[in-house]
Copies of this chain bind each other. A is one copy, B any other.
Amino acid sequence: MVDVNRRRLLTGGAAALAAGAAVTQCGAAQSATPAGFGHTVEPYYGEHQGGIATPAQAHALFVALDLVPEGGRGARETLAAVLKLWSADAARLTQGRPALADTEPELAHRPARLTVSVGLGPALFERIGLAHRRPPTAIDMPAFRTDRLDRRFCGGDVLLQICADDPMVVAHTARVLLKNVRAMTVQRWRQSGFRTAHGADGSGATMRNLMGQVDGTSNLRTAAEFDRFVWDDGAGQPWFAGGTILVVRRIRAEMDTWDELDRASKEFAMGRRLDTGAPLTGTRESDPPDLQAQVNGIPVIPPNSHIALARPVHEGERFLRRPYNYDDPPAAGATTDSGLIFASYQRDPARQFVPVQQRLAGADAMNPWITTVGSATFAMLPGVAEGGWLGQGLFG
């Protein structure tokens, strides 16, 4: 191979060699490399996959794939092969080591908190002959009144979620993981998202979405909260202990009409101030909203504002929000195609996510300005033990 290519190079085309031409070289001398944040590493092995409790990285790519079993190989074997490959590659890439047979190893040295997280679609369990091992919480979402779903952003057998603080790392990781399984999969959809760049905001403040709102104030934070609301305890399927259910919704922001709305109306629709993110009854983002407060008999926070409806009616409705913004080329004639890749993680979406989303679909004052155009559910596998592989317990 070397020789063939070498010969091709030596004989190919007109040799417009710049021999003897006056050529200057302006490269600066290379100096010792100070450490950037790119060397920061998230653990790969553990009870849970990374990319869920991990503080959100600046960039995320969500890729849904469908399995394409080859030849005599069944869907179950195909899935196992995909999961083994990804486990081996992700164990290395997340630690800043090139994947096995990585053809661009130089792109692997600064993982920038890379995490790779993998989930399985609810319908896949039956296809692989393991319907009896599906976690009972892994279900497709019901139709919500306000959904305007585009099949291009729905469903999928397998989800690959890649997050890092450097878009180069996300791109290289996606390349490695997707090409290694290309004979066994087809990509169904791909969504790329971002938050404020790592280090741009020194404060660690809650992210804003592209509508300008502080987004995700009320969220899970402690390990006890994750144990209670996010991580599966294995009661439904012992093999799934340590996993969780992801609901990923693509929510388009109707920026053209949103931008016509005056500021006060935007704040009433949300129930929070745009500047500080504080509830309309408070002064700081962290102030609890006072849904009882009235002025002249009128609620200060409208009862159909987003925060009034999105708040859990009881503790059991809490879940983890880990959203990313997207901003893609718009359709012909449109100005903007942006919005939120809303990713929520919970033990049981039917009890945690669905009731909240039903309230929002029914009455959220934000509804005129947000449209859900994509939806998918995935059973995010438990974490990998050293020497093991993703989803091993499902097959065991």
Q: List chain A positions with a Cβ less than 8 A from chain B.
A: 1-2, 5-6, 8-10, 12-19, 21-38, 58-59, 103-107, 110, 112, 165-168, 170-172, 174-175, 178-179, 182, 186-187, 189-190, 192, 194-203, 205, 208, 210-212, 217-222, 225, 255-256, 258-259, 261-265, 268-269, 274-275, 284-288, 291-292, 298-299, 302-305, 308-309, 311-315, 325, 327, 329-330, 332-333, 335-336, 338, 359, 362-365
**Chain B residue with the shortest CB-CB distance to A1:** B262
A26 to B288, CA, bound (A): 9
A363 x B15 contact (CB < 8 A):
yes
B259 x A171 contact (CB < 8 A):
no
Given A195-B168, A265-B6, check contact A27 B313 (CB 8 Å).
no
Pick from B38, B202, B308: contact of A18, CB under 8 Å:
B308
A172 to B211, CA, bound (A): 9
Contacts of A31 in B (CB 8 A): 203
Q: How close is A165's CB to chain B, nearest CB, in angstroms?
A: 6
Chain A contact residues: helix, strand, loop or mixed: loop
**Chain B residue with the shortest CB-CB distance to A329:** B190
Q: How close is A325's CB to chain B, nearest CB, in angstroms?
A: 7
**Chain B residue with the shortest CB-CB distance to A101:** B259
A28 to B359, CA, bound (A): 27
A338 x B175 contact (CB < 8 A):
yes
B106 x A220 contact (CB < 8 A):
no
Pick from B9, B106, B196, B315: contact of A274, CB under 8 Å:
B106
A362 x B16 contact (CB < 8 A):
yes
Identify 15 new A-B residue pairs, CB closer than 8 A, beyond the known A21-B313, A22-B315: A9-B265, A12-B304, A13-B362, A14-B363, A17-B303, A24-B315, A27-B218, A31-B203, A33-B203, A106-B212, A165-B200, A168-B196, A179-B335, A186-B333, A187-B329
**Chain B residue with the shortest CB-CB distance to A356:** B16
Contacts of A211 in B (CB 8 A): 104
Contacts of A192 in B (CB 8 A): 327, 329
A10 x B302 contact (CB < 8 A):
yes
Given A13-B304, A201-B38, check contact A171 B338 (CB 8 Å).
yes
* Nearest 10 Cβ contacts at the A-B interface: A13-B363, A27-B286, A104-B212, A38-B200, A34-B202, A5-B265, A36-B202, A25-B288, A15-B303, A33-B203
Q: How close is A142's CB to chain B, nearest CB, in angstroms?
A: 17
Contacts of A27 in B (CB 8 A): 217-218, 284-287
Q: How close is A90's CB to chain B, nearest CB, in angstroms?
A: 17
Q: How close is A290's CB to chain B, nearest CB, in angstroms?
A: 11
Contacts of A284 in B (CB 8 A): 27, 29-30
A338 to B173, CA, bound (A): 13
A359 to B327, CA, bound (A): 37
A269 to B10, CA, bound (A): 10
Contacts of A255 in B (CB 8 A): 175, 179
**Chain B residue with the shortest CB-CB distance to A260:** B103
